Structure 1
Amino acid sequence: MERDDEDIAERLRQSIGRFVRVVRARADTVPPLQATALGTLDREGPQTIAALAAAHRLKHQSMSRTVRELETLGLVSRSRSPHDGRSFLIALTPAGAEALAGDRRTRRRWVAETITERLTPDERRALLAVPELLDRLSEAAEQPGEDRPRLRGSARRR
């Protein structure tokens, strides 16, 4: 690995992290942990609390509290698992899907307005390549047979 690649990786890591934090601070309408749970249910369908917690490397207790909050708001529902009568499946309700869609619309609108206000036409054209490049980098982590260590840092919520 070339030193330049490490420098690029570090700048990219910092910039993406800052961008995500700024978008969340400016545009989130659903608290981050709730949005994370709703997003997982939207993408992957009904899940147990244990599966949701494991997917986000959270303690069961933290995810259980989040699910209770979402249930109280009517954004998720709980039903007995057809495979294990002792466990429950958590599913997105229509209100939860709308809350998630609204949150995504707010983020998208804020980012689009900021792109329009802050970037030149040439910079906007250059930005068009970024999603594809990030997708290609993400695919590297999804390749079977590549056994890379997964670090569990303290920056991850528990």
Structure 2
Amino acid sequence: MYGWGVPHDLNSDSAPTAELLEALLPILHRIHVERTLSPGKVGILRHVAENGRASSAELAVKVQVSPQAISLAARELEALGLVERIPDEMDRRRSWIHPTEAGRLKLAEETRTGRAWLYEAIRERLTPEERQTLASAIPVLRRLTAGTASETLSAAASTPAPEPTPEAPSEEPHD
């Protein structure tokens, strides 16, 4: 079993942190490889499909990228007919990003594509005991990100947003 004290070298290959990343990253990559949309665009679609609408600022916090990156991704999703922007009735400078029916269908397709590989891999490659071990680890893994969204939201609320600059590089949002 791992010693979970603070390692002297966080980049050490023997650190449980590195081993966890080495195990999870290829799984995440494999899930996303079959998709036609980037993980960030899937994240935007997922958020607006689950919440009905969102502002660029809200999505930036949720997807953890700049508002400029959200704006670019939302324009691309809008061009694909997957979301629509609707001006706020009270503040015309603000717009809401809503999913379209095509966007909801695309999200379902992208989600199904990513999960199909994982389902098959678990079913075919793991023993029943290993599947039970994996199921037992899920609540532990969820605890690693518990509170993350609220911590990010409160940090964003207390920090003034930087002014956009023309030379700011665009970022691709991540799911």
TM-score, normalising length: structure 1: 0.76
Structure 2 residue 5 is matched with structure 1 residue 2: yes
Aligned to 2:23: 15
Structure 2 residue 146 is matched with structure 1 residue 139: yes
Q: 1:61 to 1:139 in 2, by over 3 A?
A: closer
Paired residues of 2:87 and 2:94 also in contact (CA < 8 A): yes
Aligned to 1:105: 112
Q: 1:121 to 1:10 in 2, by over 3 A?
A: same
Shift of 1:139: 2.0
Counterpart of 1:97, as a letter, is R
Aligned to 1:29: 36
Counterpart of 1:13, as a letter, is L
Structure 2 residue 81 is matched with structure 1 residue 74: yes
The one of the two structures with greater contact order (alpha-carbon pairs below 8 A, sep at least 6) is 2
Aligned residues: 147
Secondary structure at the counterpart of residue 91 of structure 1 = strand
Matches within 5 A, 1:92-131: 92-131=99-138
User: Unaligned regions of 5+ residues in structure 1, if any?
Assistant: 149-155
Paired residues of 2:73 and 2:172 also in contact (CA < 8 A): no
Structure 2 residue 63 is matched with structure 1 residue 56: yes
Shift of 1:24: 1.0
Secondary structure at the counterpart of residue 128 of structure 1 = helix
Secondary structure at the counterpart of residue 37 of structure 2 = coil
TM-score, normalising length: structure 2: 0.70
User: Unaligned regions of 5+ residues in structure 2, if any?
Assistant: 156-170
CA distance in 2: counterparts of 1:143 and 1:95, whole angstroms: 30
Structure ranking higher in helix proportion: 1
Paired residues of 1:30 and 1:99 also in contact (CA < 8 A): no
Give % identity. Answer: 30
Paired residues of 2:62 and 2:149 also in contact (CA < 8 A): no
CA distance in 2: counterparts of 1:66 and 1:142, whole angstroms: 20
Paired residues of 1:57 and 1:157 also in contact (CA < 8 A): no
Counterpart of 1:106, as a letter, is T
Deviations 1:57-92 (A, max 9, x none): 433333222111111211101111133122111111
Q: 1:142 to 1:77 in 2, by over 3 A?
A: closer
